[in-house]
Amino acid sequence: MVNRQENSFLKPLISFVTPMKEKDFRVMKLINSVKNQNYPKERIELIITDGGSNPKVLEECKKFDFVRIYNNPKGFAEGAGMGKDQGIWKSKGKYVVIAESDIEFMDSEWINKMIKPLEEDKEIFASVPKLYISKSDGPTNRYLSYVGVDPFAVYRSLEGQLEFNKGIKKMLKGSYFVLELSKNEPYCMGSNGFMFRRSIVKEVGDYAQDVEFIARIAMKGYKKFAFVENARVWHKNVKSFNEFIKKRVKWTRNYSKVYIKEKKDFNWIIDKKRFLFYCLKNILLFPNIPVSVKKYVKYRDIAWMLHPILMFISTALNIYYSLMSKKMLSQVFS
């Protein structure tokens, strides 16, 4: 008879990668949600790449046996050799989960739900959870939980396409959906609980930025991934509208710097006419008002009234920083 300890080692090792630079203790919500998983703790590791957190926060993190902490001297989460990339290369798991410090897994079966597609079908390269919409969140964070953290990316983000595109192709397979990546227009995804096979990193290289990482995965011929709708992730991204603005400015500025410094291909803009029309629609504001009203009627959530203004702000920021980057601009208009 196989005892419980032997059974636990039949489970795949799961590596959570968490870049952080924390002043408060919000990361403890993430760590405790990992601790509470109905999964053998000896088959879990949580790798923190720290960019200068409060020492008291780090001391609390060290109390958990499954947590390992590494120094991330430059403090950036994304970019070759930065937080996420560093953590992935230090991980040992069969599957890697990108787990930002401001997320929380909503039930104890989260790991089991997420590994199910990967264990059942070797052609599936990743499992993607669904963002949880909490009534306790402010309207800005609720809106981002519907469409994804970057409103500008909704025309290509998985969350945005699932919300707005009724024609998206997805095949129900038991408790999850199977979707496919396109080499020409891969979905924008790859964070907030994104679980993938660690083995593919050796083929595609560094995790510089989630969109670019997914594009390289698609170019290598990987197609199938799972959307696990009943595996929920609560992303406590922003507490207010003002915090959203500050985060978007910082993220968009750093994003353009990564592409300038590392000379990455700006390869997620394929249909340039559609892309430019999309930008124009967002800048004009009014084309998004009917969408806002329609979604409000559907969900009865005032958060959808923010749709036109947040699309405008996100688009304006991307246009501004693109103008600052000759490389990005030339690849849009060439």
Q: Output DSSP code: residue 13.
A: P
The domain spans of the chain are 102-238
Residue 1, pLDDT score: 42
Structure tokens at 83: 């937080």
Distance from C-alpha of 133 to C-alpha of 145, rounded to nearest angstrom:
6
Amino acid at 85: D
18-70 pLDDT, tens digit each: 999 988 899 999 999 999 999 999 999 999 999 999 999 999 999 999 999 99
Q: Is the pLDDT of residue 92 over 50?
A: yes
pTM of the model: 0.90
Q: Is the pLDDT of residue 175 over 80?
A: yes
229-279 pLDDT, tens digit each: 999 999 999 999 999 999 999 888 877 666 555 545 545 566 778 888 999
Identify whether the C-beta of residue 105 lies closer than 8 Å to the C-beta of residue 33: yes
**Angle at CA of residue 278, ends 276 and 280, nearest 5°:** 70
Distance from C-alpha of 114 to C-alpha of 196, rounded to nearest angstrom:
10
Structure tokens at 198: 């660690």
Q: Is the pLDDT of residue 86 over 60?
A: yes
How much of the chain exceeds pLDDT 90, in percent?
Answer: 69
pLDDT band at 77 (very low <50, low <70, confident <90, very high): confident
Kind of pairing between the strands at 14-20 and 194-197 = unpaired
Residue 89, pLDDT score: 95
Q: Is the pLDDT of residue 2 over 50?
A: no
Distance from C-alpha of 206 to C-alpha of 118, rounded to nearest angstrom:
22
| Residue scoring higher pLDDT (80 or 296) | 296
For residue 59, how many C-alpha atoms fall within 13 Å in the half-sphere facing its CB?
Answer: 3
Question: Which residue reads 């953290």 in tokens?
Answer: 149
Distance from C-alpha of 134 to C-alpha of 189, rounded to nearest angstrom:
21
113-162 pLDDT, tens digit each: 999 999 999 999 999 999 999 999 999 999 999 999 999 989 888 999 99
Distance from C-alpha of 52 to C-alpha of 46, rounded to nearest angstrom:
18
Q: Is the pLDDT of residue 83 over 70?
A: yes
Q: Is the pLDDT of residue 208 over 90?
A: no
